[in-house]
Amino acid sequence: MTTLLALSGCVSLPGAAPTAPAAPATPSATSAAPATPPPTSQAAVTAPDPVATGSRQPGGWAGTVASVRSGVAKINVTLCDAGGVGTGFLIENDLIVTAAHVVKDQAAISISLGTEISSAQVLGIDEAADLALLRTARPVSGHIFDFVSAPPALGEDVAALGFPLDADLTFTAGRVSGLNREQTIGARTVSNLIQTDAAINPGNSGGPLLTMDGKVAGVVSSKRAWVFGAGSEGNYSAEGTAFAVDARKAVLAVESWKNRTTSLSPTSCGLPAPADTSAIDVTVNSDHPQAANITQSLVFHGQSINRGAYDLAFAILTPEMQDRMGGLETWREGLGSSFWRTLEVEDVSAAGPDLTASVRLRTVQDAQHGPDGQSCSEWKLDYLMTWDGSIWRIADSLTPQGPPVPCGA
């Protein structure tokens, strides 16, 4: 008997939540020094024209990675009771392939490519094949991947690019160790899998399994975690046994989905709201190395508010911030009908051991819930962000330039 792990990474959000712009917090006391910040995000690299099938990039794998890395997307998914991180890759400037289990039951999705961040919706999903296709809210820049025209050979060099364990872009290399594998993951059986000994972990799901020429041989799906010995009480760790969906199956799925004009409806989380409520138009103007990571935390917070996943939104706040907000129910009542519409991160700067994100935020709400009866508000906020060892949390929110003004004022 084997145990297989799907490789989307869950975000741990133990009882803390971000501040609502409609109720900015009183400045907090000095926070405790955070854990060591995460590695800085890698800047996007402009990709050259695709190389011919079978050719090798100058510099071996290093050359291949340099030419394609700008097209590998980090996918942040808001669920009704959790959050997840996975990987995807561009096949057109507004289409991203990923694994089905990364976006299954999603309430909202945001993707990041370098400093570009966009919301996304699911165009097609096939759980039996563990494949999905996303469309971004606006075109994004990055390398456009091609699929291989023939399956890789047993023993051929391959590599995975992705965001395992919510880390920055990571490269792991190995070889094709099996073809046409079939594996049962949970209640589903996935066939036509490529087996590889390249190291992959939660968060790699949906990323490209590449050949040396930079083409996609497969879509990373799962790995075998344990083997239970037959007739034995011993449990044995399974090393170097990971799987990717064959590119030929991915090509067929993409061709059937990419021309759709209507996306699949996200999970509502019990909120009777339009299907596009979660969409936030995001701009990052700061070149600080943590700007993209901080923005993703703010977007996750806003998307959770928009989809009615208030527990998740509240969980982005530090415990101290949660206390100042009076607890989840008091904070939630203060939101009223507020929704985030646009977020512009203008600057990220040091604030002692923490960072301050200066943002412009547009919210819409029913007039009775808006400040001074506003149905659309423009906020200028400073969010104090603290690193807790796994994610950036909101420790405070200030309005240094005063209360919000009506949109267009």
Q: What gap in Å lies between CA 188 and CA 193, rounded to an integer?
A: 13
Using DSSP's 3-state secondary structure scheme, residue 141 falls into: coil
| Model pLDDT, residue 13 | 46
- Partner residues linked to 362 by β-bridges: 342, 378
Residue 160 backbone phi and psi in degrees, to 5: -110, 135
| Model pLDDT, residue 108 | 86
Q: What gap in Å lies between CA 100 and CA 98, rounded to an integer?
A: 7
| Tokens representing residue 144 in the block | 């456009």
| Model pLDDT, residue 34 | 41
| Model pLDDT, residue 166 | 77
What average pLDDT values come out for the chain (409 residues) when binned by 10 residues? 45 40 38 44 34 52 95 91 90 96 89 90 93 94 96 95 89 94 76 91 94 96 64 56 92 95 82 59 92 91 88 92 94 88 95 90 91 93 91 93 89
| Model pLDDT, residue 70 | 96
pTM value > 0.85: no
